[in-house]
Each structure stands twice: as structure tokens, then as C-alpha cells.
Structure 1
């Protein structure tokens, strides 16, 4: 389908991955264990509703000592060793950008060392150099669920204010070492998913605190303070460095025009908005302060915290978008609870496919902040079938095509969108379900959920489709 040229000539088409889901080599190069390495594959789990991110301290210790269970993110797709050949696939597709994360556990294996691990710095130097040599703009995420497990066991995760300094030091180390090569940085992946994946997001075990809900909000505050410090450092090093915050879009529709449903949707959405309100406006909005008061949450917020937040706001907003949500007071009044949307179809994991929801949420973010926006993730996870050396994934092409159409609507409305990163351009381990067989890629990787297979890469039908999208700058989708 050929359409008029809407995308700017310098638009960054590409894809995104995370270190913990692709690299493997868990015990190589001096890397320390991280939160993501604690998740075992559970073949009998209900993957449509699986939440693997509430862990006790004993469960963490058991995972560290377990010699029998299969922990998929310790293996990934072996990108640590295959990155050069894997990047060639992205180069062939014509990628303008590649978003990936740096694993905190490779740079500071325990999170609190005095000096960074040179082997980790060297690996990412090689990776970044290769990305640039292949004609792609690197977009680097500093933290994508890769918190050194020592931060959990010794400090109790981001709930501890000491971790502000530790994470700030890590972020500043990355900027000082790689800032001359990398212009775009996302400090923390999907900062608002703390309510869904608290252990992944903050490194806090449920039995390490007296009030887990309060601790989650304190942890996010500490992350935002550290992020503001990192913004300050970046702009001191080079005013052209661009530092962004990232939300997983959780925008909810009201079930109907019942004012109670409309207000429930508003409150649901505010639980994500408040974080970007703080990071773009520089202060806590009144509605979240009232929420804290209602629930008797007492956060440790210092005058110095307020000063650094006010003076070091973010440069751009990164969004991951996969689905939309709906809320219904008849089902629940809890701000997190959602209900099935009868107008939408789900993927096998219960995610409602809603391209128009992308137009809706981006319009809301733009109206709220007027900050440049990056689509940091967008994709369709499905059970792909390899036949005759390929996958006929027309369903993925259709999903991405319809979402890109909505991006065009946004651009026509004057929304500043500068990048589109399809999630998982090469198949990788699922963040939530630990499955390898929940596939997103344009490139099929021959591993199953137990890591069995040849590891060989195969091109899916969507590979050539996305190649043409990029070559025509979005005119042919």
C-alpha cells in the first residue's frame, strides 16, 4: 500500500531489544546476576495472566543456588557472541536506529563497586561501534530490568535511598564512557510498570518492607531523583545529549459514559501520568500527593530532591505500545484492574489489539507535554510456525501496518515523533512469561522455551515487508 510521504526525511526507523532478553552469557565477562536472571521457566503457567514479579528474598536466594531449573534470560539468544552477524540482518533491513540496553550487572556486577568492570565497558564499546558502523543510530537504555541482585539482597532495592547514589554513578559512568558515541538515552525502561512488575522494576522483595505499596512509590521517587541527576550530568557533558523517560502505555478507556467509569479511567491513567508529570514539569502534581495522603503513604522527599527534579527535566518521551485497556466500576474500583474490551480482539496472552489506541495515547501525551516522542517498542507476540525455512507472518505485517497508519495520523496532527522501534526485531525471550516461543521478530531464532534448538536464524515474511517500509520512508506499508 503506497501513500504520500508523511514521515520526515530523517525519521529513525528501527527496532528495540533488551540485554537481559537477548545477550545470554550470564556468567561471562565478569557479569553479576541481576533481577531478570531470577525468573525460571514455568511450562504449566497461565501465560495470559502470568505475573512473575513478586518475589521473596528466599525465592531470590533459591534461584541463585538452583542448579536444575531453566532460567531463560541467562541464555537469551546468545547475542553476546552473535551480535555482529545479528546486526547484519538489521543492516539489510535498512535500520536507521537500534535501541538496546546496557546491563548494569556487566558494568558494576554488584552494583556498588568502586570501579566499573572493564570487560563490560569493552563489550559495549564493541557493540556500539558495530551498530554505528552498520549505519544505525544507537539508542541506549540504562536500565531495562537488569538490577544487580546484590542491590536487592544488600540494600533492599530502589526503596533504599543509598541506591540513588549507586544508580547515579552507573548512569554517569555510561555517559562519560559512551556519551561521545551515543546521543539518545532512555534512563529507565517503562518506569510506570512498577505496579505490574515491582521486583523487575525496583529490585524490592515483598518481605523486605513493611508496606510494599508505599515502598514501590518511594522506589519510583528514588529512580526519578537519580534520573534527574543523570540528566544534569548529561547536559553538563554535552548539551546535545538527549535524555528521555519511558512509559509503557497503560491508557484505559471507560467502559461507557457512566461518570464513575469516566473518572475511574482518569484515575487509572493518572497513575502513569504522574511520573511523566514529575519528569517533564519538575514537581509532583496535586492529585498524586492527595492519593498518598488518602492511603497514608509517607515518602521521603527532601528539599534537595525537589530542587534536582525541578532543574533537570527530561528531553523526550519514549513510549512502548502493544495494547489498550478498559476499566469498569462493576468489575473493580482498583486503579490497576481492567476489564475485557468487547470491541477488540486479543492475542494469545490477552493483549487487546488496538491500533487506534496508539493514536489516542500519543495525542494525549503530546497535548500534555509537547515533548518529542519516540515509539520505543511496538510489536505483536505470536506463536510462529517455521515452514520451509520461513514464517508466513501476515498477522504481524497487518498489526504493524495498522499501527504505522496511526503514526501517520499523529504526524499529520503535528505531533513530533522522531523514531519508531519495532519490538524484538530478532526473536528473544519474553520479559513477562519467559517464553522463547512468544515471538516478535522479523528474524526467527531456532530455540524453544527450554533453549533447545540450533540457534539458526531464518527470515520471516515480515522481514522483506519492513525492509520496504524503511526503504520508502513509510510510503509503502
Structure 2
């Protein structure tokens, strides 16, 4: 019987980044425009709301042709040119792993080209070698909100089954090239954020399809099929890799013990599980089939695809966790009979970040325990961290709030390990400050390393170690004993 008292000796301590939020160089070396390049920074926007949820075709056309607005993800922190120096900071902290994405629009700029972009491959050849050289295990996300615009323009996004073939070609190109250097792969980032960030998730403009709900579910089905095809390909080739899927945790508490609130939370949480129910169990669960039928959503699923999903379940679960949620019948009068995501209500027992995200380390323990009990699949903490306004003083940031946040979550992670949950590693989100996925802000900072750049791209770009830099370094050195 296994008796774990602390983090295992082979625990993967590190961090996570995304190409679209950090690299910049949006139109260099043959790269085409991707969906994340379309979001402008709006100083007047409500910071508690997503700035990337939906787009109309007119909004896409405007962004493509706009010459005046500032589009932060086109510039990132210029990691495309600075990565060798930036990786030295992570090495100094003792990182054992780095999770990052490869930008589809950099590898196949025109998507349908038979031959990948040589310059794009050369960049990732050099980058992956540098990650390994600095002592880190690379974990690669194949698709992290980097859908090439061409797929939106020609196919109306992932709803079209031809996109499966294009994704398979792209993914096979990466697996063939890097399987000897990269063991851990995540097929699609946060596949369940379909309802919260549908445009970035499936690339469909809200006004270009008759039934947007159906288009969303068809799109995510096609992504699930594409993920299984890559798992099948890796098996057939005999590659020694692990193919995982990833959820952004959306686990919700009921507001109280009223049975309607308990059922509402249960049904809300089932929608968080549905994707992994399919990808780990190999078939669509009855509750989602019922939802499709009652909502008159017709998903095109072939017998061949059903067999593919059954025979090619994925290997591990990657989870991003930032906050917990609470749902209430008071806000969702009809949700007790449906399966749509419920509106969340502020939890009076929890503090929130400046962006309204509830700070709840015990929710971390709760959701991970639920995933393990449901699947018994190894779990990677793919993202966790605290976005805050940081103040640079005397060439550092005294970010005790970040230390406290991550410390509390690591304490709960250790409790999971004591329970026998197999946790592979912990990837702190954005170890070097990068552009926020949700609000396009640079000043919503997560890093252990401060980047001197503001929301409009002004600043020197110089890097500075924060107080949390040295704290996390000691955490890694002591394998989580000194928190």
C-alpha cells in the first residue's frame, strides 16, 4: 500500500506559458495571423468580463485591417527573440519542466499547405533544445487558442469535419518531429471552455451559422476526434509518449443544501466532466445525449468515430485551476431541467482578486479529488497562479500575496498526494509576465519575473526578479518541504 507523505522525488516542478500570449513576432518568418492576434486592448473595458468570448465576422474583418489599434498578443513580451535569456531565469529557479504551446499558424501558415513552414519548425527545434539544455522536461500543448484565421474564414471553424484532417496533419508533423524529445503532450488546451470562450475554442463567428449552440458542440466533438486520431497515430508509430487532455476547472458548489441547488451544481459539474467522460471512457454519457436530444442539437458522429474514441482513450488529465464557483437557483430559475452552464454567484465566504476570481485553495483539493475519484488518471497541474497588479520598486516586486496564494494551493496539493492521488507535476501559470488571455492586459501579472511593459506595449521590456522568484526557487530545491 502506497503511503505518500510529501511530493514524490520525480515531481515535475515548473511553469506554463502559451505561444500566443508570450512570443510576439506575429507576422515574422512566414507566420500567418491567428485568432488570438485579433483582440484589441480596450482600456475602458470591464476587467471582470472576458474580452475574447465571441466575435462577429465584421469584428474579425475590422481587426485584420485595423492599422491603429494595439493588439497585445501580436507582441507578447518578444519571447520569440528573447527566449534564451528568459529560460535562464527558469533554470535559476530550478524548473524541472516547462509547459508551452506550439503555434499552429507558425507551422502551417496557410493550413492546407502540404509542407510545413521551415522557419516555424526551426524556431521550435531550437526552443525545445534550449528547454532541454536548461534541465527542463518539455510538455507541449498542440493547440492553445492558436487556430489559424484561415480555418475561420474558409471552414467557419472547427464545426467543419475537414478541420479534423488539417489538425491531424499538423499534430502528426509535431509528433513525428519531436516524439524523441517530448514525452508529454496535451492535445487541446482547456477543451471545456467552449461555452466561455467559443471563438478562441472553435473559431466560429457567432453570426455565420444558423445554430451556434450546435456548431459549438459539433466543433468540440471534432476536436475530441482529432485528439483520438493523434493518440492512435502515436500508438501505431510506437512512440513512447503520453497524450493528455486538459480542463479548465469549473467545479461549482451549491449555494446551500436546498435540493434544487444541489442538483443545479451537480448538473453544472457534469458539463465540466462531459469532455473527459468521452476522452477517458471512450463514449458519450447518457446525460449529454439527453441534452442534445432535448435541445434539438444534432451532432454528426459516425460509427467509425465512435470506434475510434473507444479504442483511443487518453492518458492523463491536465487541469488549470484559479478559482471556485458557486451556483444558485436564484440566478438560474430554469436550469434545474437543463444542461447549460449556470451563472455563478459570489461566494460570501471567499475573497476575490481584482478581476473577481474567488480565491479558494480548498476548492483545488475538492476538484482534484473529484477528478481522481472519477477517472483514476494521472493529473498534471497545467496552470495555477494569481493575476495581480504588481508594483515594481527598487528593481523588485514584494508580491507576498502571490506567495500566499500558491503556498496555500500547494498545501492542498500535498493533501491530494497523501490521499493517493497521482499528481505528475505543478506548472505555475505565466512564470514570466505575459499578456492576459481573458482581458488582453499586460498588467494582470502572474509571473515570478516582472516584465517592464504596460497594457499598451510601453516600457523597456527589461526583466526583474520578484520576491516570489526566490520563494519558488526554495520550494523546488526542497521538493515542496519548505513552503
Counterparts of 1:166 and 1:137, CA distance in 2: 28
Give the superposition deviation at 1:238. 3.2
Give the superposition deviation at 1:112. 1.8
Given that residues 189 and 247 in structure 1 are in contact (C-alpha distance below 8 angstroms), is that contact kept between their aligned partners in structure 2? yes
Give the superposition deviation at 1:240. 2.3
- Equivalences for 1:245-264 in 2 at 5 Å? 245-264=245-264
Counterparts of 1:141 and 1:13, CA distance in 2: 17
Given that residues 51 and 440 in structure 2 are in contact (C-alpha distance below 8 angstroms), is that contact kept between their aligned partners in structure 1? no
Counterparts of 2:238 and 2:471, CA distance in 1: 38
| SS of structure 2 residue aligned to 1:339 | coil
- Please name the residue that 2:473 is paired with: 467
- Equivalences for 1:220-299 in 2 at 5 Å? 220-299=220-299
| SS of structure 2 residue aligned to 1:406 | helix
Counterparts of 2:223 and 2:398, CA distance in 1: 42
Residue 369, structure 1, aligned to residue 375, structure 2:
yes
Counterparts of 1:341 and 1:218, CA distance in 2: 33
Counterparts of 1:95 and 1:12, CA distance in 2: 8
- Please name the residue that 1:436 is paired with: 442
Counterparts of 2:51 and 2:268, CA distance in 1: 19
Give the superposition deviation at 1:233. 1.0
- Please name the residue that 2:408 is paired with: 402
Counterparts of 2:342 and 2:85, CA distance in 1: 42
Give the superposition deviation at 1:128. 0.2
| SS of structure 2 residue aligned to 1:158 | coil
Counterparts of 1:50 and 1:30, CA distance in 2: 30
Counterparts of 1:35 and 1:118, CA distance in 2: 22
Give the superposition deviation at 1:51. 3.9
- Please name the residue that 1:457 is paired with: 463
Task: Give the structure-1-normalised TM-score.
Answer: 0.98
- Please name the residue that 2:171 is paired with: 171
Give the superposition deviation at 1:389. 0.3
| SS of structure 2 residue aligned to 1:29 | coil
Task: Select 1:413's aligned residue among 392, 416, 419.
Answer: 419
- Please name the residue that 2:219 is paired with: 219
- Please name the residue that 2:317 is paired with: 317
| SS of structure 1 residue aligned to 2:158 | helix
- Equivalences for 1:325-364 in 2 at 5 Å? 325-332=325-332, 333=335, 335-364=341-370
- Cα deviation, 1:248-275, whole Å, max 9, x if unaligned, reads 0000000000010001001111112010
Given that residues 315 and 371 in structure 1 are in contact (C-alpha distance below 8 angstroms), is that contact kept between their aligned partners in structure 2? yes
Given that residues 79 and 86 in structure 1 are in contact (C-alpha distance below 8 angstroms), is that contact kept between their aligned partners in structure 2? yes
Give the superposition deviation at 1:391. 0.2
| SS of structure 1 residue aligned to 2:20 | helix
| SS of structure 1 residue aligned to 2:89 | helix
Following TM superposition, the consecutive aligned residue runs of length 4 or more in structure 1 with deviations greater than 6 angstroms are: none
- Please name the residue that 1:379 is paired with: 385
Counterparts of 2:110 and 2:320, CA distance in 1: 29
> What RMSD in Å do the two structures reach over aligned CA positions?
0.9
- Cα deviation, 1:198-232, whole Å, max 9, x if unaligned, reads 00000000112101011100000000000000011
**Structure 1 spans left out of the alignment, 5+ residues:** none
| SS of structure 1 residue aligned to 2:431 | coil
- Please name the residue that 1:390 is paired with: 396
- Cα deviation, 1:308-356, whole Å, max 9, x if unaligned, reads 1111000000000000000000111353311100100110111000000
Counterparts of 2:134 and 2:5, CA distance in 1: 25
Given that residues 218 and 300 in structure 1 are in contact (C-alpha distance below 8 angstroms), is that contact kept between their aligned partners in structure 2? yes
Residue 24, structure 1, aligned to residue 34, structure 2:
no
Give the superposition deviation at 1:239. 4.6
Counterparts of 2:234 and 2:450, CA distance in 1: 37
- Cα deviation, 1:424-462, whole Å, max 9, x if unaligned, reads 000000001000000000000000000000000000000
